[in-house]
Amino acid sequence: MAEKPDTSTHFDAIIVGAGQAGPPLAGRLTAAGQTVAVIERKLVGGTCVNYGCIPTKTLVASAHAAHVARRSADYGIGTGEVTVDMAKVKARKDGIVEGDRKGVESWLEGMDGCTLIRGHAKFTGPHSLSIDGGSEITADRIFLNVGGRAVVPPIPGLSDVDYLTNVGVLELGSVPEHLVIIGGSYIGLEFAQMYRRFGAEVTVVERGSRLASREDDDVCAAIKEILENDGITIHLDANDIRVSKDGERIAVHTSADGPTVTGSHLLVAVGRQPNTDELGLETAGVATDKRGYVVVDDQLRTNVEHIWAMGDCNGRGAFTHTSYNDFEIVAANLLDDEPRKVSDRIPTYALYIDPPLGRAGMTVAQVRESGRKALVGKRPMTRVGRAVEKGETQGFMKVVVDADTHEILGAAILGVGGDEVIHGILDTMSAKAPYTTLTHTVHIHPTVSELVPTMLEEMKPLQ
C-alpha cells in the first residue's frame, strides 16, 4: 500500500488525523465502497493511545498496586519493603501503548479502499491538501480529527527552566525526587497521585481557590482531602506564579506573599489547545473561534459544507468517548439516514484518581442556577458495604433529580468503582426514565451500585 500518493490523487474522502474518530470513520466509509485517505503526521491512535488514556491509566494501575502493597497489613497480609522499579513500570506502559498503536495501524493498512499517508497535511484549497508541502491530494469530503496538545502558559521564567507536559512526563524512567505540578485540574491531579504513590514528593500549585473547579464544592473538597491523605502538598490561590532556577532545581513562586516550592521536576498541566494552527484552515475558508477550535454545528459540519471536524479540535468535547461519539454522529447522518446530534448526548466523564470520580449530567450548582425544583441525595462511602469490605471508604455518592418529572439531572460518584457505577445512572438518564426505574430494580449484593437506589429513596428537597 502506497505511503505517499501521486500528485493530484483524488479520494472520495480525506480524514486528517488518526485519533479516535478517524479510523472507525474510515472503516464505515470504505465498507460503503468509498475510497479514503487517512493522513497522520505523527503517531497513529492520537492522544488517547499515545499520550492520554492508555498510558496514563496503565501507570495509574501500577501506582495502585504499589499503594495496595503498602497497605497490605491493613488486610492482615505481610510483605517486605515495597519498591518501585520505574524502568519496568515504564516498559509495561510502553508495551501496552505500542500494542494498541500497532493494532490501529494494522487495521488501517489492511482496510480495503483506505490509504494511510504519513505526513503533515495543509489545505491548499477547499477540496485539496498538500502533504509535507509537496504532493497534493483532493477529495469530495474532508474530515478533521487533528486533536489537541498541552497549553504552555506565559508563566514568567518558564522558558528558562526544563519543564514537562503530559507527553514528557510519560517518558520518565526514574521516580522524581520532588515533582511540582502547576495546575490542579484533571490531568495534573492524576499525575500527582500517581507519582506520589511511586514514591516522589509531590506538590500541586493551583491559581484558583479549588481543585477540579468545574465540580461542586463538596466534590472539590473531597478530592483535596483524598490527595492530602496520600501525602500530596496542595497550594491554592496561587495568583502570581513565577518560575526560576535554583541551582539544579526549579523554584515555583506561588504568589507575592505565598510560599516558594523548590522541586527536582516541574510538570505544567493547565489545559489543552487544538491542533488547528498549522492546517491552513483559512485557505479552505473554515471558521475557528477565538481559542482556535473549529466551529461546528450540531452534526459536526463546519461552515464549509463538505468539511467536518471531530474530536478535541472542535471544542464540543475533550474526551476519547466524545471523539468516538463524534464519529458515530457523522456516520449516522451520512450513511444511515439517522439524524443524530451532539446536543443529544449527556455530558459524562471520569477523574482517575483513586478512588475515581464518575460524573454525569449537571452539577448541583448548575441545577440551582437553572431554577429547577429538585431533589438531592447523598451517601458517604463509609455507608456502602462493599466499600467497607474492600477497605476503600473515601468519598461519597451524590445525585440530583427533577422534583416534577422525576428524571435524573446529574450525579457524582466519588468512590471505589465510581467510574463504573456512574453508568447505571447515565443509562437511566439517556432513556429519560424516572429515577424509580433504579429504585424498583433488584441489584446484586454486595456491590457499590446497590446503594444507588437507597440513596435515591433518601433524597431531600434541594435548598
Which of the residues are catalytic?
445
Amino acid found at 44: V
CB crowding 30-49: b at 16 or more within 10 Å, else e: beeebbbbbbbbebbbbbbb
Cα–chain-centroid distance for residue 136?
Answer: 34
The grid coordinates listed for 171 are 517518558
Decide the pairing of beta strands 272-274 and 148-150. antiparallel
Strands (E), 28-135: 36-40, 114-118, 121-125, 128-131
Decide the pairing of beta strands 36-40 and 114-118. parallel
- Is 200 within 8 Å of 181 (Cβ atoms)? no
Cα 413 to Cα 399: distance, rounded to the nearest angstrom: 8
Helix (H) or strand (E) holding 65: helix 53-70
Angle between helices 22-31 and 320-335 (to 10 degrees): 20
DSSP state, 294? B
3-state secondary structure of 281: helix
If DSSP states are collapsed to H, E and C, what string results for 197-250?
Answer: HHCCEEEEECCCCCCCCCCCHHHHHHHHHHHHHCCCEEECCCCCCEEEEECCEE
3-state secondary structure of 108: helix
Cα 326 to Cα 314: distance, rounded to the nearest angstrom: 10
CA angle 291, 297, 302 (to 5 degrees): 70
The grid coordinates listed for 242 are 513565577
Rg, C-alpha atoms of the chain: 24
Whether omega before 355 lies within 30 degrees of 0, making that bond cis, reads yes
- Is 149 within 8 Å of 272 (Cβ atoms)? yes
